[in-house]
Amino acid sequence: NAGVTQTPKFQVLKTGQSMTLQCAQDMNHNSMYWYRQDPGMGLRLIYYSASEGTTDKGEVPNGYNVSRLNKREFSLRLESAAPSQTSVYFCASNLAEQETQYFGPGTRLLVL
């Protein structure tokens, strides 16, 4: 049982490049989340998916898109990366929205 996994671990992009961050969970959870964490700050919610087939915006969705590919996988896409998107990205999941969230190890993204 790997829990929540994220790929890649690290990525460097140039301004304007696109990329997709992958997240998968093997806990049969229904809800999944994408957060970003800037230096010295708490986590802020980008997008979430309460269940397979649904996605909703969080606190800071601008510049991102998401896809809930199936129950296990939830991806985050940056269409045109900007330096302001330099951050650590965390994926999380829970069985249902009201339950405890479990986090992945994070993806560190640097946009030059």
Partner 1 sequence: DAKTTQPTSMDCAEGRAANLPCNHSTISGNEYVYWYRQIHSQGPQYIIHGLKNNETNEMASLIITEDRKSSTLILPHATLRDTAVYYCIVRVVTTSGTYKYIFGTGTRLKVLA
Please state the closest distance from residue 43 (CB atom) to partner 1, in A.
5
Report which DSSP code applies to 100: P
| Separation CA 7–CA 20 (nearest Å) | 9
Rule CB under 8 A: choose which of 19, 27, 45, 95 binds partner 1: 45
> Is 22 a residue that touches partner 1 (CB under 8 A)?
no
> Is 42 a residue that touches partner 1 (CB under 8 A)?
yes
Place of tokens 């700050």: 41
* Interface size with partner 1, residues (CB under 8 A): 23
Strand locations in 1-42 (E) = 4-7, 10-13, 19-25, 31-37
Please state the closest distance from residue 96 (CB atom) to partner 1, in A.
9
Please state the closest distance from residue 16 (CB atom) to partner 1, in A.
27
Please work out, in degrees rounded to the nearest 5, the angle formed at the alpha carbon of residue 56 by the alpha carbons of 55 and 61.
Answer: 115
Residue (13 or 91) nearer to partner 1, CB:
91
